[in-house]
Structure 1
Amino acid sequence: MYPKIDFLYLSEPDMIAAGVLDAERCVTVCEETFSLLGEGDYLMGGANHNNHGMNIVFPKETKFPNMPVAGPDRRFAAMPGYLGGRFDVCGNKWYGSNHANAEKGLPRSILTMMINDKDTGAPLALMSANLLSASRTGAVPGVAAKHLANPDAKIVSVVGCGPINKACFTAIMTQLKAVEKVVCFDLFLDKANEFARWAEGKYGVTAVGVDETEAGFRDADVITVAASRLKPLHFKDEWIKDGATILVSGPVNTDESFLTGCKIVYDHTPLQEAYVEDAIASGNKDAYYSGVIGGPFYRLIDAGKLPPLKESTGLGDVVNGKKPGRESATERVIFIACGMAVFDISWGFEMYQSAKEKGIGQSLNLWDKPSLS
């Protein structure tokens, strides 16, 4: 046993050099993570081991002059977890967010990731995590596309043309090889057109930008939704064709008839159950549901119009062959992704290993010998 502890620091350029933007590799790692989730070889926060994370939210008013007050998407979150399998490490993503960051030329969220030894708690790596988080967020619907979409899908619709949906689309395109057309919807047409030009240049497909919601959903084979939290959108049952797959990574609402008439696959049903527990504990379930991605589904479950979460399908069950995914070419499927720390851990661990192999990053010293021992 040696008391000296060094750990690896990885800047954003280091993460790029380590391969954080390798979408196909990230989909493979996230598929492996889903398998571990399905087997139960993981832990997350909370007494139920399934919490998304712990948030600091700010009050609307405060008597303390330096305390922040509430603002659009202004919060901090700690997302801890343990992931087993070949990863076998603990980790925590520390997440700060403020919509007003754009006025300072900063991204809305600024994230870091720490990977720790599971036994000693010693840090193994501290890394820039904006690209890490975006990549794994995109890879999750990429895994879903592999298992739930019709493989001959020709039209993909991108609903919300920000950086997260660019990561989602990039991952989805690693799995769908027959795509010919991309429809890019955003409330701001210039953003939609910019995304369309990028998609045409990168993939050689026909792409069009639109700013009408219906045009973003109608006739698409696969729809990836990662729109703004500031204005959740609503799509209608009649817009969704037979055989369509909707991959949801952001808030959305739709007709009750669609949700009760399609196949629903969740990223991980125990996570969804933890959200419901939090909603009950909040004392105002309806308000809580309005702030989370799965809210419309939880309301219908409470009303007895959808099966209980314990009877529902998680993507880990599909990956492991325990439950069916798509069962026919005409079935309409919706996938709900709420995000979990274990994906940051698996992709972060992969980048840590890659950086060590390539000699990337800076070694930092915690101590040569602990003063307290």
Structure 2
Amino acid sequence: MSHHEVDFNYYSQEHLLNAGCFDMRLIIEVVEKTLLDFEKGSIMFPEKIVQIFDEKTQNRINCLPATMLDEKICGVKWVSVFPENPRKFDVQNLSAIFVLSEIERGFPVAVMDGTLASNMRVGAVGAVAAKHLAIKDAETIGFIGAGEQAKMHLLAMKVVRPTLKVCRVTALTAAEEQGFIDQLSPILPDMEFIAANGDIRLAMEGADILVTATGAQAPLLKAEWVKPGAFYSHVGGWEDEYAVASLCDKIVCDDWETVKHRTQTVSRMYKEGLIDDRDVHADLHELVSGDKPGRESDDERIYFDAVGLSFLDVAIALTMFKRAKEAGEGISLELQHEMIFEHADIASKVRL
């Protein structure tokens, strides 16, 4: 090996799955630990870069960096979200890739699939919120949306609320609803699944936990369906009428300072002067650390909004990298064998 050779490991989604990285309990623990690390200041969390190519569809590619200072790892997630993909092309709407680099010399150590980690992070963050904000004996969960993030939400919610026994789901088509049920019922054989056949009210009304995970930019969830004691996990941009947030006793965000500048329902309400900073009870890390209380009564309606925090993605990617490397999965690739002008035949390769 050349003294100046630079190698990194490559991990496909299949490598990560084979290594046992689809471990929801592990990822929930990573989210909790990383939120505490963020609170103590050991994480660098710059602004993400967003490129929206179509305002109507919200087709976009985002660049999300973060650094784990204790781990001495800097990472970036390059993620595309194209909401119409399932309908137009019969493919997923989200795809992502990670690059992880060590910060002693600045060289990459891993390039890896980010779709698994991204979708698991969405579910795990919702579950950490539910751990503090949902009623202890929650039995019924309702979904608007039947995509990958909805599926991850159900798996994660079941970890923190094992009492869940009925899942109602609605989506744009009956085929999407049935696909959700067909894929998840073998994983959760003790759960009763109900396809709402496009009836949003049937899916959501009276549920202990409500989840909206769609690409819609419209107020689908109605306040009248949110019963006392309900916990609502808002995943997308604008999926509920303003009255839902107004009705709730607590509003909690993954990070309010980030949320307020986005296009979530509560972000729109903030920009229109309908709510202000005082109306937001807590950020999620404050619940995990115990700085602020979670649910304080069985009758509280609680609203949770997550815009997505890149440092959680990078922390999850780092955890998956370690597990996959230990399991012997992945492929070692050479970035360079030697420095540019060390190549013996460099003179023949230069074009002037």
- TM-score class normalised by the smaller sequence: 0.7 to 0.9
Correspondence for 1:43? 44
User: TM-score if structure 1 supplies the norm length?
Assistant: 0.82
Distance in 2 between residues matched to 1:249 and 1:301, nearest whole Å = 18
Correspondence for 1:232? 218
Contact 1:235–1:255 (Cα < 8 Å) also in 2: no
Confirm or deny that 1:76 pairs with 2:71. no
Unaligned runs of 5+ in 2: 343-352
When the two structures are aligned, how many residues end up with a matched partner? 336
Unaligned runs of 5+ in 1: 46-50, 60-69, 276-288
Distance in 2 between residues matched to 1:198 and 1:109, nearest whole Å = 18
Contact 2:72–2:104 (Cα < 8 Å) also in 1: no
Distance in 2 between residues matched to 1:335 and 1:144, nearest whole Å = 7
Per-residue deviation, 1:200: 3.9
The one of 185, 210, 215 aligned to 2:170:
185
2:110 is paired with a residue of what secondary structure?
Answer: strand
Query: What amino acid does structure 2 have at the position aligned with 1:135?
Result: M
Per-residue deviation, 1:246: 0.5
Confirm or deny that 1:250 pairs with 2:250. no
Distance in 2 between residues matched to 1:195 and 1:96, nearest whole Å = 22
Confirm or deny that 1:220 pairs with 2:207. yes
Cα distance change, pair 10–154 in 1 and its aligned pair in 2 (3 A): same
- Render the CA deviation track for 1:164-210: whole Å, top value 9, x for unaligned: 11011111111111112111122323322332344444322222111
- Render the CA deviation track for 1:28-51: whole Å, top value 9, x for unaligned: 111112222333332222xxxxx2
Distance in 1 between residues matched to 2:296 and 2:330, nearest whole Å = 46
Per-residue deviation, 1:258: 4.2
Contact 1:8–1:363 (Cα < 8 Å) also in 2: yes
Contact 1:199–1:205 (Cα < 8 Å) also in 2: no
Distance in 2 between residues matched to 1:83 and 1:224, nearest whole Å = 30
Per-residue deviation, 1:358: 1.2
Summarize the alignment of residues 149-228 of structure 1 with structure 2, pairs less than 5 Å apart.
Answer: 149-203=134-188, 204-210=190-196, 211-228=198-215
The one of 323, 326, 329 aligned to 2:295:
326
Contact 1:90–1:116 (Cα < 8 Å) also in 2: yes
Distance in 2 between residues matched to 1:99 and 1:329, nearest whole Å = 36
Correspondence for 1:140? 125
Cα distance change, pair 359–309 in 1 and its aligned pair in 2 (3 A): farther
- Render the CA deviation track for 1:53-86: whole Å, top value 9, x for unaligned: 2122337xxxxxxxxxx7734322211111344x
Distance in 1 between residues matched to 2:287 and 2:304, nearest whole Å = 12
Cα distance change, pair 113–240 in 1 and its aligned pair in 2 (3 A): same
Correspondence for 1:313? 282
Distance in 2 between residues matched to 1:3 and 1:270, nearest whole Å = 43
The one of 333, 339, 343 aligned to 2:312:
343
The one of 253, 275, 293 aligned to 1:266:
253
Q: How large is the RMSD of aligned CA atoms in angstroms?
A: 2.4
Confirm or deny that 1:56 pairs with 2:51. yes
- Render the CA deviation track for 1:114-145: whole Å, top value 9, x for unaligned: 11112322101000111121111211111111
Correspondence for 2:76? 92
Cα distance change, pair 309–351 in 1 and its aligned pair in 2 (3 A): farther
2:296 is paired with a residue of what secondary structure?
Answer: coil
User: TM-score if structure 2 supplies the norm length?
Assistant: 0.87
Cα distance change, pair 110–309 in 1 and its aligned pair in 2 (3 A): farther
Cα distance change, pair 369–104 in 1 and its aligned pair in 2 (3 A): same
Cα distance change, pair 88–242 in 1 and its aligned pair in 2 (3 A): farther
1:242 is paired with a residue of what secondary structure?
Answer: coil
Query: What amino acid does structure 1 have at the position aligned with 2:17?
Result: I
- Render the CA deviation track for 1:272-305: whole Å, top value 9, x for unaligned: 25x2xxxxxxxxxxxxx6xx22xx3234335554
Q: Percent identity?
A: 25
Correspondence for 2:324? 355
Contact 2:222–2:241 (Cα < 8 Å) also in 1: yes
Per-residue deviation, 1:347: 0.8
Summarize the alignment of residues 4-15 of structure 1 with structure 2, pairs less than 5 Å apart.
Answer: 4-15=5-16
Contact 1:158–1:165 (Cα < 8 Å) also in 2: yes
Distance in 1 between residues matched to 2:40 and 2:280, nearest whole Å = 16
Contact 1:58–1:75 (Cα < 8 Å) also in 2: yes
Contact 2:247–2:301 (Cα < 8 Å) also in 1: no
Correspondence for 2:25? 24
Moved over 6 A (4+): none
Contact 2:132–2:287 (Cα < 8 Å) also in 1: yes
Per-residue deviation, 1:344: 1.5
Distance in 2 between residues matched to 1:41 and 1:264, nearest whole Å = 26
Contact 1:71–1:99 (Cα < 8 Å) also in 2: no
Contact 1:269–1:309 (Cα < 8 Å) also in 2: no
